[in-house]
Amino acid sequence: MPADTAHTLSADRSDGEREIKRIFALQKDAYLQNPFPSYDRRIAGLDKLIELIEANEEVFATAISADFGNRSKHETIIAEMLVLLSGVRMAKKSLKNWMRPRGVPTPLHMLPAKSKLEPQPLGVVGIISPWNYPVFLALAPAAAAIAAGNRVMLKPSELTPHTSDVMHGLIDAAFDESEFAVIVGGVETGQAFAETPFDHLLFTGSTSIGIRVAQAAAKNLTPVTLELGGKSPAIIDASADIGKVTQSIAYGKMLNAGQTCIAPDYVLAPPNKLDETAAAIAAAARALYPEIDTTTDYTSIISDRHFSRLKAMVEEARDRGARIIEVGSANALHPQRKLPLTLVIDPPADAAVMKEEIFGPILPILPTGSTEDAIARINKGERPLALYWFGEDNEARDRVLQQTVSGGVTINDTLWHLAQENLPFGGVGKSGIGAYHGRAGFETFSHLKPVFYQSRFANSGLLHPPYTEKLEKTLSFIRKIL
């Protein structure tokens, strides 16, 4: 590493670490002074977020497009702003109910005592957000943490500097930094952020970086929620109408040019319908983006490094004999740092497109003979963040649901389980730890404190020494009612 580069990284970490420590100390002190913010104060925080989002839709869309090279304003509105607003408004509407202590049954032999779970703020929550949906995946967990009564520190991705700067400025103007603060900086600042002794840390990103974040958090025994990724399958059952299901698959794959953690990563189709499936997905893609070579509706790849990685995946599969179908002209799209939708028909099992999460507009399509074969193929790999099943055979559908493990599932469509705020969103195994969205988000950033309210009429003294015959009678009675 050149000396000047090493000096820059050292300065970045040093400056970032000082700022992180300063704000963390400020927020920790503010939390200790008011460890249980009122309902009204939490609502005020959510209202600030709603106003910030609504007033700056165009600003965010412009910044995101600048970071990507191109992303449609409409795509940003649909995939970030509307989903985000829905979640924040649901939190506001539901907050009073979420904050209530929850009674739980008390066993007969402990009556007339009462038992409750009392939601309590954790303290200072850290959020490390990714580049692919840089507003939604930053502010959605922040809203949940604020609803739960916490202070929030956010470290957005260095790969979206325009969006990060906009977010920093808007949040700084709307919130006191003792409530919600943004830390901008590079990889070294991110490392220092992950090592901060937060009361909870949420990270969204790749599995490889998630492992490093978890290791850094473990130094302080900081609990983590890791929203990662993996190879999410789309299963086309023999009972499916190919013409009807492929538009959902094409849309789920091409939204944000496939740079979506729950995008379909590969398709399993009946062998006798493999060509029909590929042709139908290609036709659906052309219908969605009829001017794909020139339209601003189709998103660019985030960076040269990711662009090169995706092109190398395609070339390796081609060199190893996979059939390639491209929707769009590579000659026209590559100068825009865009890729055609690239269908890779039956690639080798050890090809990069089948071993790595793709995170781009490349879609392997593989022949799979039966529901059992599809289940076996999925279970050979790591547990995916999402699973999609298409068809009309309810028995086959239920076998897939029961015999595979994934973070979430959408049946006969793609992506929608993420937008349903009443469903927890999260992974399992290497696709993630923990979940949020809706009530699950409130609970992720709360301590559900168990409280036992003993009655003044309690007879618990009967169990105290000295142990006499009277105790034996008491124990005999308890055994009968347990």
- pLDDT per residue over 263-288, tens digit each? 999 999 999 999 999 999 999 999 99
291-330 residue pLDDT tens: 999 999 999 999 999 999 999 999 999 999 999 999 999 9
Pairwise CA distance, residues 374 & 393, whole Å = 15
Report whether 400 contacts 389 (CB < 8 A).
Answer: yes
Pairwise CA distance, residues 168 & 166, whole Å = 5
Section 197-214 average pLDDT: 97
The residue behind tokens 């690639």 is 347
> What pLDDT is recorded for position 272?
96
Section 46-74 average pLDDT: 97
Q: What is the three-state SS of 63-88? A: HHHHHHCCCCHHHHHHHHHHHHHHHH
Delineate the domains of the chain, giving CATH numbers in brackets. Answer: 8-228+435-447 (3.40.605.10), 233-422 (3.40.309.10)
Enzyme catalytic residues: 227, 261
Q: What own/partner pairs with CB < 8 Å and gap ≥ 24 does 77-84 have? A: 79/133, 79/136, 79/255, 79/256, 80/133, 80/135, 80/136, 81/53, 81/57, 81/135, 81/136, 83/136, 83/140, 83/418, 83/419, 84/53, 84/135, 84/136, 84/139, 84/140, 84/143
Of the two residues 216 and 1, the one the predictor is more confident about is 216
> Smallest Cα–Cα separation from 183: which of 201, 208, 206?
201
Helix (H) or strand (E) holding 342: strand 341-345
Residue 10's pLDDT band, with cuts at 50, 70 and 90, is: low
SS3 assignment, position 121: strand
The Cβ of residue 197 has, within 10 Å, a number of other Cβ atoms equal to: 15
The DSSP 8-state label assigned to residue 236 in this structure reads E
pTM for the full predicted model: 0.94
The Cβ of residue 353 has, within 10 Å, a number of other Cβ atoms equal to: 24
Pairwise CA distance, residues 449 & 447, whole Å = 5
Handedness of CA 420, 421, 424, 426 (dihedral sign): positive
79-94 residue pLDDT tens: 999 999 999 999 999 9
Helices (H), 34-132: 39-55, 57-68, 73-76, 83-99
Pairwise CA distance, residues 423 & 428, whole Å = 15
**What region, left, alpha or beta, does residue 321 occupy, with left being phi > 0 and alpha being psi -120 to 50 degrees?**
left
Residue 481's pLDDT band, with cuts at 50, 70 and 90, is: confident
